[in-house]
A and B are shown apart, each in its own frame.
Chain A
Amino acid sequence: MRNIIRQASGWCYFAAYMSSTVKQAVQCTHCGEPCHNGNITLVDKIFCCEGCRMVYEIINDNGLCRYYNLNDRPGITQKDLARRDKFAFLDDGKIAAKLISFKDENQTHITFYLPQMHCSSCLYLLENLHKLHAGVVSAKVNFTRKEADIVFENTKASLRDVAELLTAVGYEPYISLNDLKETRPAMDRTQIVRLGIAGFCFSNIMLMSFPDYLGIDASEEGIRGIFRIANLLLSLPVFFYAALPFYESSWKGIKHKFLNIDIPIALAIIITFIRSVWEVFSGAGGGYFDSMTGIVFFMLAGRVVQDKTYRQLSFDRDYSSYFPVAVSVWKDKKEIPTLLPEIKVNDTMLIHHGELIPADGLIIKGKALIDYSFVTGESLPVPKEIGEMVYAGGKQTEGNIEVMVIKEVNQSYLTSLWNKEDQPHKQKSVSFVHRVSKYFTGIVILIAGLAAAYWAFHDPSRIWTAVTAVFIIACPCALLLSNSFTNGHILNILGRNRFYLRKASVLEDIAHVDHIVFDKTGTLTSAGEQEIGYEGQELTDTQISAVVALASCSNHPLSKALAAHFPVSEKPAVQGFKEYPGKGIEGFVNDHWLWIGAAQEGTQKKIAATTVHIRFENQDTGKFLFSNHYRKSVPELLQTLGKSYRLSVISGDNNAEMQRLRRLTGDKTTLLFHQKPEDKLHYIQSLQQKGEKVMMIGDGLNDAGALKQSDAGIAVSEQSNNFTPASDGIIAAKQLPLLDKFIRLSKMNRKIVLASFALSVLYNVIGLYFAVQADLSPLIAAILMPSSSLSIVLLSFGASNIGARLMRLEW
């Protein structure tokens, strides 16, 4: 009998067998993970693991139980505990000095990055850190940056103590090579200061313009003069400070001989200001200070909305954010923590279980099983023996090894990928806004010229008023406004759907994409999960528990996956366990001999990465088939995208999955395997040379070059605190199926901008009607300007919300 069981049906099939032995999963009091083993309890609370219980005890003993009241099960699972002396390197004065921000005789100030921080409970616990340890003076959290500024007393605690205390309550500080860099970019506050000043001046000028709007008695000329002078004074900060970004950007445009949208805007601001000053001093009128400051205020507001960056996400990570700050080096038979940049060739590094290898080297002690999935995209860890070469970026997953360095950190394979600066930079596309503004400006100049010509024949004294009025009323600020507000709002909607873009211009890049390139491992498939199917004779309960018992004796990733696949609470004892590296394992379970591994025990044939045979008592019973676990709805996503875009799947993995991917993606998709990181980059380049706009979707360091090169590089992130390579955008893995909609929304962006621009042109036509007659009163300008701005804002918000709603996105 022969049957294939896919994961979903296979689970039910075995669950039916196992139902008597599997306990109902209860949620852990601390972290909310299901508790497979109900034995870990404290009074009436149940925990998923010892780690969670320990954290609960610490919190409970110190009277901080509000932690559990503020949010339901706010903890972080403690199943993977940090190595005990992981933070031993902090005892080294030289390393510590590089990390701390301030130190005097009594106190030390340190800022830790705590990626696990996610809710108000975290905030509560961390700010009460002084209750957990007498040495801690205070802790202040910056939630958006996920950082905590901690002050502690030197006599009562050390840096290591603080790091270990944080780890003990589940907030392990993330200390990377990047922390050695001296400066952290400070947040830019000038934009919001400019907005505040412009708003202040705008509103007060509005108020003081009322006498002019309403008309004032001739007998009170003096008061009118005072109001006008006050307006002039109030407009100075706006003209000379708040509007600076527009001048700067237009100056850049002029220098690069590129007519950007800020040039006509800066021109309009300057003309308006000069004319208004002239009016005030010549007594001709009150000027247009209100319109000028108002438009600056609205445009600045639009910029703030558009540039609202996601500060908690980092789009510019390079390798140094992934590497540890220090590693243990054997010197004089002692383990000495050493800063990464100080590691020299021929040093012997001690790499602990679960640590990243920071520099290329040769294994000189221990057996390595290295997970390169992040670097190369291979889905299974690679076993390495003594004398073999290991590359920086791999993660040791089995025990400790010693590695002799043969290349310094900044010359390693991985880092050299990053430092390749000679790659041709991608062409920056010009935003359509600038192109539209070019035509717009041309038309405005034409109208101004016609008006000037007309008045030259009829009443030359009116040329100046007519021409300046045309420029005031018809500046393309409406276009800029609609663009920045629409961009900002669409970015917001995408952010709510957990698709975060680095900046607004990425929206346009996405809208132009015609070729989408996917990475396989970690992007289409979910990392660390495998689908297990079975072919062969049906297994009985006892046989399954025997397989699990034997498999759990081994650390091989396939054995581990197999053991974790079946929920078995009691495992029979295993006798005579023996492991043949790369071939399989054997042992006696319930007095029956069992073999898990290659097809014929003892033969030289190594196990293929995807099939594991089992034999009971010299008889082939069946085989387990391992395959990548594709994310849910990946097939649908590829189907829908395939209709409108060219697709490629490019993988660093072997081509075992070729057939299946072909079925999933259809005939037209290009499938490439065994691709090194630079191959991926070259592939993107070759597509671009054909004139295609490429979107790359990847997750690991191996995609970093390709992400950088592509027109829109999107990194996939499993959790919000995951680390993603430098990219133009970050998408939560669960939201990947919505990619099609996100692209459609980005395309809609442009339509909305143009629609609201068309609306504003209507207002402009009304204004121009007065302007060309040299009869534009400040009152009309003051009504037209804010109402056109307001309707643009409303239209762009409303239209993007309706669009998002129609696509059933969060909005």
Chain B
Amino acid sequence: MAVIVILLLASISVAGLFLAAFLWSVKSGQFEDDFSPPSRILFDNDTQSSTQS
């Protein structure tokens, strides 16, 4: 009986992690430009990281 409750909590928290990851990706603007990142990844590694702190 208690096992089911633990499993329930585990499954919800795993799902919660994914939700958090999704919310983070939205916040960081990943849904705003769907062209640059997939193209950027194809460029050679000599492209120095262009992200700025």
By a beta-carbon cutoff of 8 Å, the part of chain A in contact with chain B is 66, 120, 123-124, 127-128, 130, 137-145, 151, 187, 189, 192-193, 196-197, 200, 203-204, 207-208, 220, 222-223, 226-227, 230, 311
Contact = CB atoms under 8 A, between A and B. Distances in A.
18 contacts: A66-B43, A123-B36, A130-B48, A130-B50, A138-B50, A138-B51, A138-B52, A139-B50, A143-B35, A189-B27, A196-B22, A196-B23, A200-B16, A204-B11, A207-B11, A226-B4, A226-B5, A230-B8
A692 B47 CA distance: 58
A200 B19 contact: yes
Contacts of A127: 40, 43, 47, 50
A128 B47 CA distance: 7
A124 B42 CA distance: 10
A517 B50 CA distance: 49
Shortest beta-carbon contacts, A-B, top 10: A143-B35, A120-B39, A143-B36, A200-B19, A138-B50, A196-B22, A144-B33, A142-B33, A127-B50, A138-B52
B30 to A, nearest CB: 10
Contact of A187 (B32, B43, B51): B32
A66 B45 CA distance: 12
A197 B19 contact: yes
Contacts of A145: 32-33
Contact of A140 (B1, B43, B52): B52
B12 A204 contact: yes
Interface size class of B (residues with CB under 8 A): 20 to 34
Nearest to A120: B39
Contacts of B48: 130
Contact of A226 (B8, B16, B35, B36): B8
B31 A192 contact: yes
B26 interface: yes
Nearest to B44: A66
Interface string B1-26: 10011001001100110110011001
A139 B50 CA distance: 6
Given A123-B40, A192-B26, A151 B52 contact: yes
Nearest to B42: A120
A522 B19 CA distance: 50
Contacts of A124: 39, 43, 47
Nearest to B48: A130
A144 B32 contact: yes
A534 B33 CA distance: 52
Given A123-B40, A140-B51, A141-B36, A222 B1 contact: yes
Given A141-B36, A142-B32, A143-B36, A193 B23 contact: yes
A142 B36 CA distance: 7
Given A123-B39, A208-B8, A230-B12, A140 B50 contact: yes
A223 B4 contact: yes
Contacts of B16: 200
Contacts, number: 78
Contacts of B33: 142-145
Nearest to A145: B33
A144 B34 contact: yes
A137 B52 contact: yes
Nearest to A226: B5
Given A143-B36, A200-B15, 13 more contacts: A120-B42, A127-B50, A143-B33, A143-B39, A187-B32, A193-B23, A193-B26, A196-B22, A196-B23, A200-B18, A207-B11, A222-B1, A227-B8
Interface of B: 1, 4-5, 8, 11-12, 15-16, 18-19, 22-23, 26-27, 29, 31-36, 39-40, 42-44, 47-48, 50-52
A124 B5 CA distance: 52
Given A138-B52, A200-B15, A223 B32 contact: no
B35 to A, nearest CB: 4
A227 B1 CA distance: 12
Nearest to B4: A223
Nearest to B15: A204
A189 B31 contact: yes
A121 to B, nearest CB: 9
Contacts of A207: 11
B40 to A, nearest CB: 7
Contacts of A226: 4-5, 8
Contacts of B29: 187
Contacts of B11: 204, 207
Contacts of A220: 1
B11 to A, nearest CB: 8
Contacts of B23: 193, 196
A353 B46 CA distance: 42
Contacts of A142: 32-33, 36
A138 B48 CA distance: 9
Contacts of A222: 1
Contacts of A187: 29, 32
A42 to B, nearest CB: 24
A128 B52 CA distance: 14
B7 to A, nearest CB: 11
Nearest to A127: B50
A123 B29 CA distance: 18
| Interface-centre pick from B31, B34, B44, B52 (highest chain A CB count, 10 A) | B52
B26 A196 contact: yes
Contacts of B50: 127, 130, 138-140
B15 to A, nearest CB: 6
Nearest to A230: B8
Contacts of B51: 138, 140
Contacts of A139: 50
A223 B5 CA distance: 8
B29 to A, nearest CB: 8
A346 B16 CA distance: 66
A150 B3 CA distance: 55
Nearest to B22: A196
| Interface-centre pick from B15, B27, B36, B50 (highest chain A CB count, 10 A) | B50
Nearest to A200: B19
A123 to B, nearest CB: 5
B53 to A, nearest CB: 10
Contacts of B42: 120
Contacts of A130: 48, 50
